[in-house]
Structure 1
Amino acid sequence: MVSVSIFSGILLYLCVGCVARRNWKIEILSITTKSSDENLLNVHLHVDQAALIKTSFSGTFDVKFDTDDKTMIEVIALYSVSGREEDYRRNPYQVPKMTLTEFIDTYWNELIYPTLRPCSNFQEFEGKFVPPFPRKSYIMNQCELTGDGSPDILPIGYYKVLILLSGQAELNVTLTLKLTPKYI
């Protein structure tokens, strides 16, 4: 009886005393972009190799048209244990196709902007976003993917994140990422 209560006490201490921490770190392997009309939407991104494992990205995002409620965005995430092209499969971390306005209201300030704030001239949108997205040439300089807003526990392996924007111009951005164990 005493051993059961001691075991229960230790188990309770371990469960209550545990703090969930991210079990992975992220490396950007590649970024590709393709715009259907660079006169309307011109995007150039590249990977910066700052240290052995620490990576960042830089580039420009030049918006030359007024977005509206017909401007749609979708994010598809694919996962592979091996990183081989034929092994990638969809995983549950997706952003379904929605208007750019819905995307900004739902994801921008909590997930996207925290990554871009220290390294770009993108802006935070307060309150409900009212189109259009500001026409401007946005510059990103050594932006690091922190994983903030992502699940703390993710399968280790390779991810392809496809960002698909459609409207007056179509844009496809593909990020290839590698998640490795983070030892605390």
Structure 2
Amino acid sequence: MFPRCLLGGVWLLVLLISGCNARKWDYEPLAISGTSSDVKLIKIEPKIERIGRGEFAVSGMIEWNFETTNETMLEAFVYRSQTGEENDYKVLPWAIPKQTLYEFMDTFYKDVTMKNIKHCSNCPQFTEKFQPPLPKKTYVGDKCVIDGDGLPDIIPPGYYKIIVKGFGPNQPTWGGTGIFKITTKMF
């Protein structure tokens, strides 16, 4: 009797330890696109790549050719659908409110985006405060797989649409849209 209880306790401990701080969801990118009102100033070309059975990555390039200022703004919206039908999407409170690009760099970018793309891109990396402006250069992501660092551990299954918009006075309007299917991770 005692060995069974001990074995059960050890098994429970292993499950608890292995489950700590691990995301309980998987994702499949279904569509991704970028837009720009002036491709000479900013050109966005994302793409989805299959890297294995049931494994996907996002690659792409952003040619950033304009000077950012304190008036360069960014905002993002997240929508969820149970079915994936366009008329079924409902806005979620997971949004990035309209803010300056520099505020975004010091918050969501540093806490989530940078952690998830630092291994696969030449996007800015910093530890303290972002030092403006955003350098004019071509940023490249190569087979970026999001591990979920900084994102919720539990996300309800369904279809998610993320829309990012950037804009500012005398600047191009730019952005991107991604659609992802979220499933519950079994193990």
Q: What TM-score results when the alignment is normalised by the length of structure 2?
A: 0.85
SS class of match (2:115): helix
Task: Quote the residue 1:67 is aligned against.
Answer: 68
Number of the residue aligned with 2:176: 173
Q: Which amino acid is the alignment partner of residue 185 of structure 2?
A: K
SS of the residue corresponding to residue 50 of structure 1 reads: strand
Bigger shift: residues 123-132 or 41-50: 123-132
Aligned to 1:79: 80
SS at match of 1:118: coil
The answer on 1:148 being equivalent to 2:162 is: no
Distance in structure 1 (CA, Å) of the matches to 2:183 and 2:116: 20
Deviation at 1:28, TM superposition (A): 0.8
User: After superposition, where does 1:1-184 map in structure 2 within 5 Å?
Assistant: 20=20, 21-167=22-168, 168-184=171-187
Q: What's the offset of the Cα at 1:92?
A: 1.4
Equivalent position amino acid for 2:174 in 1: L
Once the two structures are TM-superposed, the CA of residue 70 in structure 1 deviates from its matched residue by 0.8
Deviation per residue, 1:73-122 (Å, 9 max, x gap): 11100000111111001011111010001000112222111222111111
Q: Distance in 2 between matches of 1:92 and 1:147?
A: 18
CA contact (8 A) 1:43 1:61 kept: yes
Q: For residue 182 of structure 1, what is the amino acid of its counterpart?
A: K
Post-superposition offset of 1:127: 2.2
The amino acid that maps onto 1:58 is: S
For 2:94 and 2:101, locate their aligned partners in 1 and report how far apart those are by CA, in whole Å.
Answer: 18
After superposition, the C-alpha distances for 1:25-48 in whole angstroms (9 at most, x for unaligned) are: 111111011101111111101100
| Paired residues of 2:156 and 2:184 also in contact (CA < 8 A) | no
TM-score (norm 1): 0.87
CA distance in 2, matches of 1:29, 1:42: 21
Letter in 1 for 2:47: H
Mapped contact 1:26–1:147 kept (Cα < 8 A):
no
> Root-mean-square deviation (CA), in Å?
1.8
How many residues are aligned here?
A: 171
Displacement of 1:170: 1.1
Q: Give 1:141 deviation, angstroms.
A: 0.8
Q: Quick one: percent identity of the two aligned structures?
A: 35
